[in-house]
Structures are given as structure tokens and as C-alpha cells.
Amino acid sequence: MTSLHADEAFLGHYQLNHDPFAPRVPGFKFFPAQRKPVLGQLHHLARYSQLLLVVTGPQGSGKTLLRQALVASTNKQSVQSVVVSARGAGDAAGVLRQVAQTLDVAQAEVGDILDQVVQLALTGQEVYLLVDDAEQLDDSALEALMALAAGAPEGRPHVFLFGESSLIAKLDALQLEEERFHVIELQPYTEEETREYLDQRLEGAGRGIELFTADQISDIHESSEGWPGNINQVARDAMIEAMIASRTAVKRPSMGFNMPKKHVLAISAVVVVAVAAAWLMPGRSKAPTTGAPANEQAQLPLGQGQPQAGGAPAVEFAGNTQPMPLPLVGNSQPVMREPLAEAAGGITEGDDGVPLEGSSATPPTVTTIAPPAGAPAGPAPTPVTKPTPAPTQVATAKPAPAPAPAAKPAPAPAKPAAVATAKPVEKPAAAPAKAAGGTWYAGQAPGNYVVQILGTSSEATAQNFVKEQGGEYRYFKKVLNGKPLYVITYGSFANRDAAVTAIKALPAKVQAGKPWPRTVASVQQELATTR
């Protein structure tokens, strides 16, 4: 379940009035930590400075919220705020056109706009010009905004640019002869400020900080690096993951004890071998060795033979109507028909790799008479040269089968041993490719970034997602509230900006899960904790 699909269940599970971590929430309160001093500084510089004011910070640092707070905190009677966006219109013509439309100016020219600003100043109104996504402005737009900020002797607008740190390099490239702009860089929250921010957000939605443990708050702060936009995303994902884990625990209650799958498979294998050995014990009916081959004997419809000579009826296994199907087997088959590893669902990593009796690596055993020790292997089976009373009793009690080709000679003992040691070696070779995480994350530089796609409590879901998407998708296993969680990531990037750019290029289906960048160091720490 991705965060997109969990919206309604998310609110109901935590009894929230609304999503506390959405970009716009009802009754939103501006969080003052690290931002209120900047807000006061902007008001002060707008009144007493003639410089263009630049506010920078990475994506998710709260630039847009600060801009909204700046507009909201101005006196509407004395200040007219003009908000424009450089997204999709980063040249001078696009920016001036937006300003002219807001100020009701016929010509989108610097001179005409300044004339309107002077007219408003004569009526006692100032103009605040605020530009979002300013890192997308080109040189022509920056020069036009510089000219507006310089203004005329009678009046000028106060220009504020809100953008990422790359904006500073563009301004420096203009090679201005004098200081024309002032830069304010936003700072991330401390861990205590992160806790207070989460508390304020949750309180607005009807709950409180008690929804998070102290360890969860520390993890959220570390993963988000203290930037409020990232805190919103990481905290929401953590709550959804905890909800999924708790609901999975309710749907799948404990059966009294938990046994590792590997042990269950081993027990199942022992049961299969025991059944096979009991079926081949001396005293049971033996088909004439000169009749059909051993494999044909296993294919005969069971239950159609005559009763044993001692009067005890034969045990019948009729396909899916067996009295008790073997564990971990789909549709029950005669024991000698399939390799033991396939019947038990495959041998998992950590098994000793020795084929058990009844597996495909061991030749079928259809008689209880072994050749004398040291006797050379010959083309004729031992039972033909040395009959015993047991086959004679079966021949009189059970009709002989239809004539069939002579039985194939039994292979020499050395040959099956070679097969037995060769086959199991191949299976574990494929296991590391599906292991959660493996050593890939440990081999990455801690300062690199990956894109977290989603988390799921089902490893099969994670494997299917990675197999479907392919490429640079992989996953690792962590523990959340004592339950395993499989986290899918994408790629490896030298910095956060590269990871953010990669997110925009992901398929729409993947972007619907709201992926976010995180450091490799945080993943390595979770892997170390899990181990």
C-alpha cells in the first residue's frame, strides 16, 4: 500500500481531522522556529534597505511558506503584494507581464511599471514584489528585477526572490559594480525544533506528539535533515508504515508459536522421507523386477491392486483425495514422482545441500535387495540372478503387469553420488540475487542519496515491484515496531539535487507514491540496526 492509496485509511486509523502533513492544511499556523527571525529581518530590510532581498534554501526548506507568511504579515492597507512565479516564465517578458497584469499596467515595460509604483506611493501604498522559484530566472529577468528594485527617486518596489542556492551563482555572474542584493540562507530545524514542529502539525489535526516515540522522532529528524518539507513527507510515511504493520499483525494473528520457514521445510522433508521409507519397507508387495521399470510402477493407479497376502488392505492415495496431504505441497503427487526439493517448495539458503532419499538426485529404490559388497556393477539387476521368496508371493497374490521392455540396468553407486553433490550446489547460487539489500547499500558512499519509493510489509510485493520496474530499483529490509518492513529505493546519486531531478523523471505510476530522497548513510544505519 503506497501513501497515495492509504489516504482515507490513514486518517481513520489515527482519528485525524485532516492530513497534518499536507502542503496546505485548515487553520495552518506558521511555525516560528528558525523562520520568525528571518521574517522580521525581511520586514526590516524592506523598510530601511534599498537592496534586492534573496532568500535561499533547498527544496522543502520552507521558502514558499515563508513567502506566504511575509504577505500575510503585511498591512494590507499600506502594502500591495505582487506574487509571481518564474516556473515556465523565467525570462524578462514573462516576469514583467505577470507584474503588469497585477498592477493593471497596459505595457509590460520596466518604465511603465515604475510609473505605476510611483503613483501608488503618492497614495501611501508600497509595493512588495515576491518571486517564487527564482532559480529558474534567466539573466534578462534578473536584470529587469534589478532595475525595478533600484526604482526611481519618487518610489520603488521592494523585490524579494525565493529560490534554491543556485540562484546566488546567477546573481554573482551579473558582475555588478556595487552591492545590489542581500542573501538570507534558511537553516534546518534542530531535533528539538523538529519535535515541536511535528507536535504543532498533529495538534492542528486533533492529535498530539504522542503518536511518535522518541526514537521515531530522531529517525524522522535524521532522514529529513531538519527541512520542514522533508519532515512532512518522512513523518507521514512513518505513520502509514506503522499503520500497515499494525493491521498486518491483526489480520495474521499468531498461531501459538512461530517456526522459521527453513525448519518447517526440513520437517516436511523428513515426513516425506518417512512416508517413502515406510512404503518401501520389506514385507510390502513388490512388483516383479522383470516387469515394468520403476518409474512406470510409480505411475500405476494406486488403490487398484489386490489386498496384501496377510489380509491387510493397501493404503490408497487417489490424487487430491489423500487422507492427509503432505505439508507445503500443492496438489499431492506420488512421493516417488518428484524431487523432494520441488515437493517441499525448494531448499532455502542455509540447508546442507545433501539430497534426501526420494529426491531426483537419488535413483529410485524399488527393491530391498542390494548387490553383495564388492560385486561389480553389471547390466543385469541383482534380483534377476538371485530371486527371493518375497517377489514369489507378490507374483501369486497380484496379477503380473503387461509385458514391458526389460528393466534398465541400475547405475553404478559412484554415479548417483556425483549427481547428488552437483545439483544442490546450483540452487543456493540464485539466492543472493533476491536477498533484501545484500551488500549493495554497504558499498555505497554514505554521502550519496537514493530515492525511497515505498515500504511494504510483504517481501513478495517488494520483489515483484523491483522485478517489474527493473533497472536501478532495489530494496532492503528494516524493522519497524518489531515487524519487518521492505523498503524499495531507486538509483544512487552524488547529491540531493540529482536525486530530486531523478524523481521528476520517474514514471507517473511510481511518482504517485510520493517518492523522496534520503541519504545512503540513513539506510546503512537502518541495516546495521536490523542486523
pLDDT band at 308 (very low <50, low <70, confident <90, very high): very low
Q: Say yes or no to pLDDT of 125 above 60.
A: yes
pLDDT mean over 195-208: 90
Sign of dihedral through CA atoms 393, 397, 398, 403?
A: positive
**Percent of the chain at pLDDT above 70?**
65
pLDDT mean over 3-10: 57
Buried b (16+ CB within 10 A) or exposed e, 445-458: eeebbbbbbbbbbe
C-alpha distances in Å from residue 40, one per residue of 45, 70, 291 = 9, 9, 100
36-185 topology per CATH: Rossmann fold (3.40.50)
Sign of dihedral through CA atoms 366, 370, 371, 373?
A: positive
The values of phi and psi at residue 417, to 5°, are: -65, -35
437-530 topology per CATH: Alpha-Beta Plaits (3.30.70)
Give the model confidence (pLDDT) of 141-156 as tens digits. 999 999 999 888 888 8
- Domain boundaries along the sequence of the chain: 7-26+190-251, 36-185, 299-305+313-351, 437-530
pLDDT mean over 279-306: 47
In three-state form (DSSP H/G/I as H, E/B as E, the rest C), the secondary structure along 233-281 is: HHHHHHHHHHHHHHHHHHHCCCCCCCCCHHHHHHHHHHHHHHHHHHHCC
Q: What pLDDT is attached to residue 34?
A: 83
Place of cell 524592506: 46
**Percent of the chain at pLDDT above 90?**
28
Distance CA 75, CA 85 (A): 22
* Top-confidence residue, 39 or 411: 39
pLDDT band at 284 (very low <50, low <70, confident <90, very high): low
Name the range with the highest mean pLDDT among 1-5, 392-396, 497-501: 497-501
Q: Say yes or no to pLDDT of 26 above 50.
A: yes
Q: What pLDDT is attached to residue 328?
A: 38
* Top-confidence residue, 187 or 377: 187
Taking alpha carbons only, the member of 141, 159, 178 closest to residue 50 is: 159
Distance CA 155, CA 117 (A): 6
- The alpha-helical segments, DSSP class H, found in 127-181 are 139-150, 166-173
- Which residues are CB-contacts of 298 (< 8 A; sequence separation ≥ 6)? 334, 336, 337, 364
Q: What pLDDT is attached to residue 152?
A: 84
pLDDT mean over 58-63: 90
Which of left, alpha, beta for 207 (phi over 0: left; psi -120 to 50: alpha)? beta
Least confident of 181-195, 206-220, 229-243, 395-409: 395-409
Average pLDDT over all residues of the chain:
72
Least confident of 289-298, 457-466, 511-520: 289-298
Angle formed at CA 386 by CA 383 and CA 388, multiple of 5 degrees: 80
The values of phi and psi at residue 56, to 5°, are: -125, 155
CA dihedral 109, 112, 115, 120 (to 10 degrees): -90
The values of phi and psi at residue 353, to 5°, are: 80, 5
Name the range with the highest mean pLDDT among 217-221, 346-350, 375-379, 474-478: 217-221
Residue 39: exposure state from Cβ atoms within 10 A (0-12, 13-18, ≥19) = middle
Distance CA 439, CA 437 (A): 6
Find out whether 223 and 232 touch, Cβ atoms under 8 Å.
no
Q: Say yes or no to pLDDT of 96 above 90.
A: yes
Q: Say yes or no to pLDDT of 457 above 80.
A: yes
